[in-house]
Amino acid sequence: MYTSDYFIEKLNMISHPEGGFYKQSFISEDNILARGLNVESEESKNLWTSIYFLLKDGEVSNFHRLKSDEMWYYHSGSSLTIYMITPEGKLITEELGLNIEKGEKPQILVPKGYIFGSAMNNEGYALVGCMVSPGFEFKDFELFERNYLLDKYPNHKEVILKLTR
């Protein structure tokens, strides 16, 4: 049986600033002009990038926001809960996994501009893939502080406390 430590070691994963572990797996050889993509650059960007991402039992990926869409793919372990706050302030919760009858989905899209994070609400680990298009760059990554989100979205207090430091 696989464990979180197995994947962290075999995939050469490192700690991610938002929580959990990651390893960049693929980068598109194609580029796209950044102009008009709501990003910080006038240069070109990779068309897409992809990572492995892993959370262990009890871990969370803290609330953050990207300037690109991010598609999540389930790979192994327990299901993973993805929490999203839309630009209008609505909280959306999705389960990434394979138990379709229980409402889990093997793929989940997080649209650009959504504030989002994830949590292991089950025992074990979750190994997933995340593809960002246009490609991920840390300069397009915004990690949120607890007090900012509590002031802006007080009705989501419980999940904000869970997914912030």
Residue 115: per-residue pLDDT: 98
Rounded Cα–Cα distance for residues 135 and 161 (Å):
29
How does pLDDT run across 53-100, given as a tens digit for each residue?
Answer: 999 999 999 999 999 999 999 999 999 999 999 999 999 999 999 999
Is the confidence at residue 35, as pLDDT, over 80? no
- pLDDT band at residue 160 under the 50/70/90 scheme: very high
- pLDDT band at residue 34 under the 50/70/90 scheme: low
Contact (CB, 8 A) for 131 and 70: yes
Rounded Cα–Cα distance for residues 111 and 85 (Å):
10
Is the confidence at residue 38, as pLDDT, over 80? no
Mean pLDDT over the full length of the chain? 94
Residue 13 dihedral angles phi and psi, to the nearest 5°: -80, 150
Residue 43: per-residue pLDDT: 76
Contact (CB, 8 A) for 79 and 29: no
Q: Of how many residues is the chain composed?
A: 165
| Residue 6 tokens, joined | 């197995």
Residue-wise burial string across 87-105, b where 16 or more C-beta atoms lie within 10 A, e elsewhere = eeeeeeebbbbeeeeeebb
